[in-house]
């Protein structure tokens, strides 16, 4: 009996292992590509600063190192445990720390001490602390912080949803819950199918119909309880991948990264073109400029950090679009999609695919299998000729219940990344109706763009009962706001009690930058999102 059980488990693990490899490799390739795109975005932003804003290149590069380092780490973090505010805070911090660096170029020359190159440290801290009130970069920091948080969270949720699917069906984990819904009858049926022919001196493979009935009877519990949550889980991932593939701005990380350099540059332009207004606001909150003749750690002459030197001097390695497409192309195969989606309901057909219907072992002798072959649904098992129906087949144990809850939770978390409410409702209804085998197809874009060597800088703005609806801590609230610092002005500055009237923020800063030396043309154009050409439809099978 142990030999029969072990063989059965080995075959199930083999089928689940195929899905495991598929899901984990997809998550890995997506995560790897996002890390690559972050490096490219960082390099491009540093080049723009060096070409267009020479006077702030040194200190700005160090701040960008910190900012992009935070983005890179987030790609590998668990959205369950990482608060969404962390990315918004990192973005806000970038601009608040940039403010003193940029303000040096627009501060009145009359206020500057002879030989002074840096602000006094206390004055720098005041500028940083009051940047939210002064708003030197307009709306860019707040809108960019929300965009970064939303798109990075959506991609990270997708990666971890894929990884969870892989963990669910890996060999070690699946052995604890897969295939024992009716153990006694299942073991007896497997023995009759696999070993009775040997005892009778026959060396014949089981008939296809016998194999299908036995496997479906053994997997009746899993199919009944897990097929619908698994299908709903797959449908949710499919929707998120489709949204990314179609360039939906709220979830398209690649589009965001391709435009990040231009949006940061736009914010700096905006501040430099509003010098007089910013000076007036700064004097209200922090007083006249206080200069320090000593060179500080953020001096424009400060050397780049070792990390920034490496990023600046080493040519970015090419990520072959053809290779990435090749690795992910198997997900576009409809046959593969059916196999993943029908992990439970289609398991019997997969395991029994190589068995014939004639001159085979039918459970009693070599010949044909003449009994009815039942379907995968639980109701059909009442008529399974290889099993005696008992209510215990429909019993849900703790291990299966835990898997169901996790599938529904991940599914709802994925749906939370999409802005359209009706999609969530329709998927909830789909899961509640039941399960079955099926496949889907969809279009995908051709190739991954890799335009580091472009002559121009291009940019763009950018189911079941009792379903779990708890949102992940990392999921984005689209109505969330950006906190501001409403603390009182620094004491002892001797400034006016009424703040100056702020000018109306334009939607963008298109004027040329006059306070800095411009050594390269800067053109902002729209960039279409091509993320997940292969990754998208590819991931659809999940």
Helix, strand or coil, per DSSP, at residue 367? strand
Which of 88-102, 170-184, 245-259: highest mean pLDDT? 88-102
Q: Distance between CA 464 and CA 541 in Å, rounded?
A: 20
Token pair listed for 502 = 């702020």
HEC readout, 271-336: HHCCHHHHHHHHHHHHCCCCEECCCCCCCCCCCCCHHHHHHHHCCCCCCCHHHHHHHHHHHHCHHH
Q: How confident is the model at residue 57 (pLDDT cuts 50, 70, 90)?
A: very high
Residue of 469, 108, 36, 12 lying closest to 258 (CA atoms): 36
Domain boundary assignment for the chain: 2-181+219-298+320-345+396-540
Dihedral over Cα of 288, 292, 298, 304: its sign: positive
How far apart CA 416 and CA 383 sit, in angstroms, is: 41
Tokens of 63: 């701040």
338 — pLDDT class (breaks 50, 70, 90): confident
Report the percentage of the chain scoring pLDDT > 90: 27
- Phi/psi for 457 (5° steps) reads -85, 120
pLDDT at 167 over 70: yes
Q: Which residues contact 492 (CB under 8 A, 6 or more apart)?
A: none
Kindly indicate the confidence band of residue 13, based on its pLDDT and cuts at 50, 70 and 90: confident
Q: What is the reported pLDDT for 464?
A: 37
Closest CA to 8 of 168, 169, 189: 189
The pLDDT of residue 234: 83
In the numeric block, which tokens belong to residue 386?
A: 């290889």
**Cβ atoms < 10 Å from Cβ of 421:** 9
The confidence score (pLDDT) of residue 509 equals 39
Give mean pLDDT, residues 346-372: 89
Quote the tokens at residue 385: 């000729």
Tell me what the mean pLDDT of segment 316-343 comes to: 59
Distance CA 54, CA 271 (A): 15
Confidence of residue 517 (pLDDT cuts 50, 70, 90): very low
Least confident of 65-69, 277-281, 524-528: 524-528
Say which residue, 493 or 113, is predicted with more confidence: 113
Higher-confidence residue of 342 and 92: namely: 92
Which residues 6+ apart lie within 8 Å of 422 measured at CB? none
Helices of type H across 135-274: 140-168, 171-174, 183-194, 196-199, 208-218, 220-245, 253-272
Structure confidence at residue 173 (pLDDT): 64
Which one is predicted more confidently, 427 or 104?
Answer: 104
Rounded percentage of the chain residues whose pLDDT exceeds 70: 61
DSSP three-state, residue 138: coil
Q: What is the mean pLDDT of residues 100-105?
A: 90
Cα–Cα distance for residue pair 72/81, rounded to 1 Å:
16
CB atoms within 10 A of CB 532: 30
Which stretch, 145-149, 380-384, 439-443, 494-498, has highest mean pLDDT?
145-149
Lowest mean pLDDT among 127-136, 356-365, 455-464: 455-464
Measured from the Cβ of residue 213, the count of other Cβ atoms closer than 10 Å reads 28
Structure-model confidence comparison of residues 301 and 195, the more confident one: 195
d(C-alpha 107, C-alpha 286), whole Å: 13
Read off the pLDDT band of 484 (50, 70, 90). very low
Q: Which of 94-108, 117-131, 175-189, 435-449 has the lowest mean pLDDT?
A: 435-449
pLDDT at residue 332 in the model: 57
CA angle 73, 76, 78 (to 5 degrees): 110
DSSP state of 382: G
Q: What would the mean pLDDT of 236-241 be, rounded to a whole number?
A: 81
Predicted confidence at residue 353, as pLDDT, reads: 87
* pLDDT classification of 85: cutoffs 50, 70, 90: confident
User: What pLDDT score was predicted for residue 263?
Assistant: 96
- The band of 184, judged by pLDDT with boundaries at 50, 70 and 90, is confident
d(CA 224, CA 435): 8
pLDDT exceeds cutoff 60 at 494: no
Least confident of 249-263, 291-305, 425-439: 425-439
Average pLDDT rounded to a whole number, residues 503-530 = 38
Q: What is the mean pLDDT of residues 455-483?
A: 37
Residue 109: its pLDDT value, please?
54
Give residue 141's pLDDT band: very low, low, confident or very high (50, 70, 90).
very high
Element holding 15 (H helix, E strand): helix 2-52
Q: Give the mean pLDDT of 72-76.
A: 90
Distance between CA 523 and CA 509 in Å, rounded? 12
Q: Give the residue-averaged pLDDT of 381-406.
A: 81
Please enumerate in sequence order all residues whose Cβ is within 8 A of that of 110, keeping only pairs 6 or more positions apart, or say none.
Answer: none
pTM tops 0.75, yes or no: no
pLDDT at 249: 65
400 phi/psi in degrees, rounded to 5 = -70, -40
pLDDT averaged over every residue in the chain: 71
32's enclosing H/E stretch is helix 2-52
The pair of three-digit structure tokens given for residue 10, joined into one six-digit string: 């080995």
Question: Coil, strand, or helix at residue 478?
Answer: coil
Q: What pLDDT is recorded for position 345?
A: 85
Mean pLDDT on 61-66 = 95
Distances in Å between the Cα of 45 and the Cα atoms of 42, 52, 178 are 5, 11, 50
Q: How far is CA 482 from CA 139, 146, 497, 513, in A?
A: 10, 8, 26, 28
pLDDT in tens, 25-53: 888 888 888 898 899 999 999 999 999 99
pLDDT recorded at residue 23: 85
Instruction: Specify the DSSP class assigned to residue 516.
Output: S
Identify which of 200-204, 254-258, 296-300, 469-473 has the greatest average pLDDT.
Answer: 254-258
CA distance 401 to 406: 9
């Amino acid at each position: 009996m142990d030999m029969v059980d072990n063989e059965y488990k080995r075959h199930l693990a083999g089928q689940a292992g195929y899905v495991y490899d598929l899901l984990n490799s997809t998550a890995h390739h997506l995560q790897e590509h996002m890390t690559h795109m972050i490096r490219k975005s960082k390099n491009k932003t540093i080049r723009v600063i060096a070409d267009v804003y020479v006077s702030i290149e040194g200190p700005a590069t160090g701040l960008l190192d910190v900012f992009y380092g935070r983005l890179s780490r987030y790609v590998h973090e668990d959205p369950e445990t990482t608060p969404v505010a962390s990315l918004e805070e990192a973005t806000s911090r970038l601009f608040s720390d940039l403010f003193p660096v940029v303000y040096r170029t627009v501060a009145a020359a009359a206020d500057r001490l002879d030989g002074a190159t840096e602000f006094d440290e206390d004055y720098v801290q005041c500028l940083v602390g009051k940047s939210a009130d002064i708003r030197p970069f307009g709306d860019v920091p707040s809108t960019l912080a929300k965009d970064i948080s939303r798109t990075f969270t959506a991609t990270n949720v997708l990666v971890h949803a894929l990884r969870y699917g892989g963990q669910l069906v890996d060999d070690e984990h699946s052995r604890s819950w897969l295939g024992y819904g009716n153990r006694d009858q299942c073991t007896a049926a497997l023995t009759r199918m696999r070993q009775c022919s040997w005892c009778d001196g026959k060396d014949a493979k089981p008939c296809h119909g016998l194999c299908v009935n036995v496997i479906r009877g053994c997997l009746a519990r899993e199919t009944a309880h897990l097929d619908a949550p698994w299908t709903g889980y797959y449908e949710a991932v499919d929707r998120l991948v489709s949204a990314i593939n179609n360039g939906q701005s709220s979830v398209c990380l690649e589009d965001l990264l391709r435009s990040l350099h231009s949006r940061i540059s736009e914010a700096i332009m905006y501040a430099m073109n509003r010098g007089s207004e910013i000076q007036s606001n700064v004097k209200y909150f922090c007083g006249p400029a206080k200069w320090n003749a000593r060179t500080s750690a953020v001096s424009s002459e400060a050397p780049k950090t070792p990390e920034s030197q490496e990023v600046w001097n080493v040519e970015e390695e090419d990520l072959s679009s053809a290779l990435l497409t090749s690795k992910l192309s198997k997900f576009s195969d409809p046959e593969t999609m059916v196999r993943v989606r029908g992990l439970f309901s289609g398991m019997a057909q997969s395991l029994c695919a190589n068995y014939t219907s004639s001159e085979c072992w039918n459970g009693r002798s070599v010949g044909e299998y003449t009994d009815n072959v039942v379907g995968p649904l639980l109701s059909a098992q009442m008529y399974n000729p290889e099993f005696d129906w008992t209510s215990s087949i429909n019993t849900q144990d703790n291990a299966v219940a835990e898997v169901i809850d996790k599938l529904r939770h991940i599914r709802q978390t994925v749906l939370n990344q999409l802005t359209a409410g009706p999609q969530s409702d329709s998927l909830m209804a789909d899961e509640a109706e039941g399960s079955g085998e099926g496949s889907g197809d969809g279009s995908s874009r051709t190739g991954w763009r890799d335009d580091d060597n472009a002559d121009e800088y291009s940019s763009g703005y950018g189911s079941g009962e009792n379903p779990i609806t708890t949102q992940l801590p990392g999921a984005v609230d689209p109505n969330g706001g950006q906190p501001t610092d409403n603390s009182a002005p620094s004491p002892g500055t001797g400034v006016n009690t009424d703040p100056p009237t702020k000018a109306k923020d334009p939607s963008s800063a298109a004027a040329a930058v006059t306070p800095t030396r411009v050594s390269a043309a800067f053109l902002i154009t729209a960039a279409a999102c091509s993320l997940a050409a292969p990754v998208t439809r590819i991931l659809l099978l999940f």
